[in-house]
Amino acid sequence: MVKLRYSELESQRFGKEIFRGNLDVLDIDLLKEFYKQNDPDILIFRIPVAEQYKMHLLNELGKDVINADTLVYYQVDLAKTTYNDVRNKDLVFINGDASHKGAFEDLINQVFYNYQNHYFSNPLLDRKKIAEGYAEWAVNTLNSSDNLHLLALSDNVPVGFLTCSYNTEYADIILNGVLPEYQSKGVYTDMLRHVKKYIHNLQIPILKVSTQIQNFAVQKVWNRENLVLNSAYVTIHLNKK
């Protein structure tokens, strides 16, 4: 059962035994075999949206089934896109390091307060700990050589951030956001424009980014900046009854 693994960090954070993984197909026999060997409080997994028609089969497992969210992925071929200049000329972009730990924690806790992702959909999970988990990931990867942690500063004050993991084939924006009081001012668009050029200069061909399907505003920005919808996944939580 290599695709479904115990998640130590999430289990510790939420005080529940949590397993998680990704499945290319919704294989009910595979899941039955998993439950013969394991009995977690929560199993979290993603399936392609093309597989969601099989979700009724999950009732055979005797668990509480939660359709927790739909995650959409956009991407852009950086060799075939346009590169627009940032509009807020007063913004300063810096690559964060360990000295910016506090700035990232503060931004993430404000931006992701009550953020409606798949954790938010599960009544067994403490919603106050969702942002805490995002901040923990960002801080723990600050010094990773395959990560970009970008801060956007206005008047020397951090107002937005973008974190990105990358390899030679593609870059994936993991977390990003702007303080509420600076939204609708083009800060997010400028961060995206900056990172497109940054990743292109690293000679990485593809830039990816994902969000929950209901986040329409950010998807409009991605469309304007030439990112196109590429794939989508359903996140499922199975809770022990």
Q: What is the mean pLDDT of residues 76-84?
A: 97
Residue spans per domain, the chain: 4-69, 76-231
Over residues 86-100, the mean pLDDT reads 94
pLDDT of residue 1: 44
Distance of alpha carbon 154 from alpha carbon 194, whole angstroms: 15
Q: Is the pLDDT of residue 2 over 70?
A: no
pLDDT score at 140: 87
Give the confidence band of 38 by pLDDT, cuts at 50, 70, 90. Answer: very high
The pTM of this model reads 0.92
CB 150 within 8 A of CB 80: no
Query: pLDDT tens for residues 114-171?
Result: 899 999 999 999 999 999 888 888 888 888 889 999 999 999 999 999 999 999 999 9
Q: Encode pLDDT of 182-222 as tens digits.
A: 998 999 999 999 999 999 999 999 999 999 999 999 999 99
pLDDT exceeds cutoff 90 at 173: yes
DSSP sequence for 114-167 = T--STTTT-TTS-GGGHHHHHHHHHHHTTT-TTEEEEEEEETTEEEEEEEEEE-
For the 76-231 domain, the top CATH level (class) is alpha beta
